[in-house]
Amino acid sequence: MSNIHPLRIHCVLSSNQRYISQSSARLPPQTRCLRFSGRPVPILLRRNVGLLPRAEDKARGSSISTQESSQPLEFTPSSEACDPLCPVDETSLQDSEPSYYSKTDLLKAISVFAAAATGAVAINHSWVAANQDIAMSLLFAIGYVGIIFEESLAFNKSGIGLLMAVSLWVVRSIGAPSTDVALSELSHATSEVSEILFFLLGAMTIVEIVDAHQGFKMVTDSITTRQPKSLLWAVGFLTFFLSSILDNLTTTIVMVSLLRRLTPPSEYRKLLGAVVVIAANAGGAWTPIGDVTTTMLWIHGQITTLPTMKGLFLPSSISLAVPLALMSLGSEVNGKEHNPAEDVLAAEKMAPQGQLVLFVGIGALVFVPIFKALTGLPPYMGMVLGLGVLWILTDAIHYGESERQHLKVPQALSRIDTQGILFFLGILLSVSSLEAAGILREVANYLDTHVQNVELIASAVGVVSAIIDNVPLVAATMGMYDLSYFPKDSEFWQLVAYCAGTGGSMLIIGSAAGVAFMGMERVDFFWYLKKVSGFAFAGYAAGIAAYLAVHNLNLSEVPFIPGS
């Protein structure tokens, strides 16, 4: 293993985590060395990752031995490329590394210089005290640019977010009337942010446990149709309802893995994957637990459960139905029936008590709003309760089974997206510092003066979320307008929930679901822009029109049409 090139490895380990290694000295214990085109290549071998096999993998499975060997395997030139779930950069070290670093060195130097200059200015207490708004706005802008261009700069956005949060609060402590005032503001912000983080941590762990037990197979196996148009609608609405309970990323990985069992690689399968992205984002917008942004609005009191579900179910459904209807007219969807290989649909065995874990896990997620209504306690307490119940259950059913440790909660905790949690921490603390300094209120006053149409403001949030992460956008909006300005469950907050949830579908990089689909199916940005973005925008606009029609034309009085 000493002669392995330090190539970049991308492997999907679980439903919501990706492992990246660039170390040439030490590789994970699950790593094996294969030779591809004469060069040693490290790959990460892992079992029970909660993904379903593809049709082409099943078809060639009979001719490839599954027995692991301590000897390196030889890939002939005629061999197929590595599995898309574990793609390896085939460019040699001499070709890839120098060009990669030459492109990023200048950007890194500029970024570090800008950060250092800003820090030097921040040390000047008198200037910061007199120009707090300018200093904080400059820090936030530099940090946000770093987050947007994290790939070009080769800096992880979680680290940038954490540094930005601390820097902003340091400036706030200097510019505040007193340190005690800044400490009080920080304690209040930390309390609010921690509720969201505990909620997400519990939800992600529950989903990971269910996924480890192959619990979602029972759901995905319910699709039996092979007619292209029927399959398009079935995949769309199954994803829609699945995403209303699970997070968008998990739903996308589960459904795209299902598509690999149902259809061979083709333009049609790419369209099905795009439908999964649109449906996952639309499904997460109409329930408090379906998307991070709706969860944020729910926990902070801007929306409540039943009014949100009643008000946003129809617009969210339309935002999916319109793209489905338009795609159904295309030639790719009106072709012949797609038949998988004979053994593709052979069901994999679920883990012991997988169905029980599925029902308990889904029940724990659904019970959270009920727990809040019954006790009045914050939602994260209900999520912690559900996690505790599932933890004890899995410990009991796998007691004494050393070979099934990966099915227990401690192993699940090691697989969840911890860096994503830390990114939310940095972003939310950063935005709360701007709110404490009154900067967001100034922005809100400016918008009220120059853009008085609240529907336009909410719609703009969705459009911008296709380019910029929707979490800071929604957090900033919450800081700009308090409940005295727009009351709970008002039209504005529901529109923000809908637009921020569905707007990311317009670009493949606009949501976690799109990025996951992009990586799993090797879909490029411009294919999605050409083939899907127009349909997604049409659905987005149709959903807004449906919401405004229901709420402004008194259509809520018509039977079977939900209202506020």
**39-44 sheet: strands from edge to edge:** 39-44, 31-36, 73-75
Backbone phi, psi, residue 61, to 5°? -65, -30
**pLDDT tens string 79-125:** 344 443 444 444 443 444 454 455 556 666 666 666 666 666 555 66
182, 330 contact by CB (below 8 A): no
Hey, is 294 helix, strand or coil?
helix
| Contacts for 277 with CB less than 8 Å, ≥ 6 apart | 252, 505, 508, 511, 513, 514, 517, 532
Q: SS in 3 state form for 91-151?
A: CCHHHHHHHHHHHHHHHHHHHHHHHHHHHHHHHCHHHHHHCHHHHHHHHHHHHHHHHHCHH
**pLDDT tens string 201-227:** 888 898 889 888 888 777 767 777 778
Taking residues 274-280, what's their average pLDDT? 94
Answer whether residue 23 shows pLDDT above 60: no
Q: How far apart are alpha carbons 32 and 71 in whole angstroms?
A: 9
Q: How far apart are alpha carbons 464 and 451 in whole angstroms?
A: 16
> What proportion of the chain, given as a percentage, has pLDDT over 70?
72
Taking residues 477-488, what's their average pLDDT? 87
Backbone phi, psi, residue 117, to 5°? -65, -40
**pLDDT tens string 143-201:** 888 887 777 777 888 888 899 999 999 999 988 888 899 999 999 999 988 988 898 88
227, 367 contact by CB (below 8 A): no
Put simply, whether the predicted model's pTM sits higher than 0.85 gets the answer no
pLDDT of residue 127: 77
Backbone phi, psi, residue 96, to 5°? -90, -45
Rg of the Cα trace of the chain?
25
Q: How far is the CA of 89 from the CAs of 1, 11, 41, 95, 356, in angstroms?
A: 18, 12, 9, 11, 40
Q: Which of 482, 486, 527, 536 is nearest to 506 (CA)?
A: 536
| Own/partner long-range contacts of 93-97 (Cβ < 8 Å, ≥24 apart) | 93/5, 93/6, 93/7, 96/7, 97/6
